[in-house]
Amino acid sequence: MDIKIHDLTFEPFITEKEIQARVAALGGQLKEKFGDQEPIFIGMLSGAFVFMADIIRAFDGDCEVSFVKYFSYEGTESTGILNEVIGVGDEVKDRTVILIEDIVDSGHTLHRFLPKVFEKNPAHVEIVSLLVKPDALKYDVPVHHIGFEIEDKFVVGYGLDYNGLGRNLGSIYKLKK
């Protein structure tokens, strides 16, 4: 069923069941690779908080959890500037960092954020994004684990918002033309 958020209409895109299956698989991959390293998961607020909660439980091993918060979006468009609200802490030094993103769109956020992580001298940085829009990418950013590659359409749900709303939807919806 279509839903309306503010002035826009969205249609069903990725079901809760499909998301949960993919997140479980990604969590298993991470466990296999980093299960013995007590990694620090760093979630990019706000969008990644739902994905983060699910993937750390799918990881099912010793890990620490932290968050950073940057923003560049207004409405459905990136402003091109990265504003820091909560930055990356010194606790990543010499640690395996697993960076959790909701979506990589232009890649601008990651491109600007990654140097801030490497500045703190982590032992390793692994990047996980639930969604990637390959046709929208403008920066060459490494995403090691991808939940779903999607078309270049604005999406909401499962943590992703449109002007503040839609984050609490269990499934993902895409903008209807």
Q: Which is nearer to Mg ion, 47 or 157 (CB)?
A: 47
Question: Does 104 participate in binding ligand IMP (rule CB under 6 A)?
Answer: yes
Question: Does 103 participate in binding ligand IMP (rule CB under 6 A)?
Answer: yes
Report the distance separating Cα 64 and Cα 43, nearest Å: 11
Q: Which is nearer to ligand IMP, 84 or 94 (CB)?
A: 84
Report the distance separating Cα 35 and Cα 109, nearest Å: 27
Binding residue count for ligand IMP, defined by CB under 6 A: 18
Q: Is 105 a catalytic residue?
A: yes
Question: Does 72 participate in binding ligand IMP (rule CB under 6 A)?
Answer: yes
Question: Does 132 participate in binding ligand IMP (rule CB under 6 A)?
Answer: no
Question: Does 171 participate in binding ligand IMP (rule CB under 6 A)?
Answer: no
From 60, 102, 105, 152, the catalytic residue: 105
How many other CB atoms are found less than 10 A from the CB of residue 7?
8
> If we measure between CA atoms, which residue out of 134, 148, 64, 133 comes closest to residue 98?
64
Question: Does 63 participate in binding ligand IMP (rule CB under 6 A)?
Answer: no
- Beta bridge partner(s), residue 149: 132
37 binds, among ligand IMP, Mg ion, none (CB under 5 to 8 A by kind): none
Binding track over 37-66 against Mg ion, x by CB under 5 A: -------x--x-------------------
49 binds, among ligand IMP, Mg ion, none (CB under 5 to 8 A by kind): none
Report the distance separating Cα 23 and Cα 129, nearest Å: 10
Task: Render the burial of 149-173: b for 16+ CB within 10 Å, e for the rest.
Answer: ebeebbbbbbbbbbeeebbebebbb
Task: Report, in Å, the least distance between residue 37 CB and ligand IMP.
Answer: 25
Tell me, what DSSP letter sits at residue 157? B
* Phi and psi, residue 150, nearest 5°: -125, 165
Q: Active-site positions?
A: 105
Binding site for Mg ion (CB under 5 A): 44, 47, 102
